[in-house]
């Protein structure tokens, strides 16, 4: 999805505000993936959005995104990488 690629491009530029700009695109990507019912893109968007939140030390928001995603698609449909991403959020939060 082009929106997720735009988010990645903003993040990779490393400019001031790059992470915040990327999170805006990832949020839009997550919303569009939900509407389209595309669980693969939804999982990618959630993972990248939560990583942005972790980088900006917004752990509660990162955990909320994962919980919402789990509720949306069901635990049985969760991608193993998404579960690892959530575990990483919990670990980062415990280290702060």
State the virtual CA torsion across 24, 89, 85, 80 in degrees, nearest 10.
-130
User: Is the predicted pLDDT of residue 13 greater than 70, yes or no?
Assistant: yes
The arithmetic mean of pLDDT across residues 71-96, rounded, is: 78
pLDDT at 1 exceeding the cut of 80: no
Burial class (CB in 10 A: 0-12, 13-18, 19+), 44: buried
Q: What is the CATH number of domain 2-95?
A: 1.25.40.10
Domain ranges of the chain: 2-95
| pLDDT value at 96 more than 80 | no
pLDDT of 45 reads: 87
Per the document, the length of the chain is 96
pLDDT by residue (tens digit) across 25-40?
Answer: 888 888 988 899 888 8
């Amino acid at each position: 999805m082009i929106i997720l690629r735009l988010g990645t491009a903003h993040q990779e530029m490393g400019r001031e505000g790059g992470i915040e700009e990327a999170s805006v695109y990832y949020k839009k990507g997550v919303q569009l993936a939900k509407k389209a019912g595309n669980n693969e893109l939804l999982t990618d968007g959630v993972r990248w959005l939560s990583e942005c939140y972790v980088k900006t030390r917004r752990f509660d928001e990162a955990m909320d995104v994962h919980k919402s995603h789990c509720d949306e698609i069901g635990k049985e449909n969760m991608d193993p990488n998404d579960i690892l991403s959530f575990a990483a959020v919990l670990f980062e939060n415990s280290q702060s």
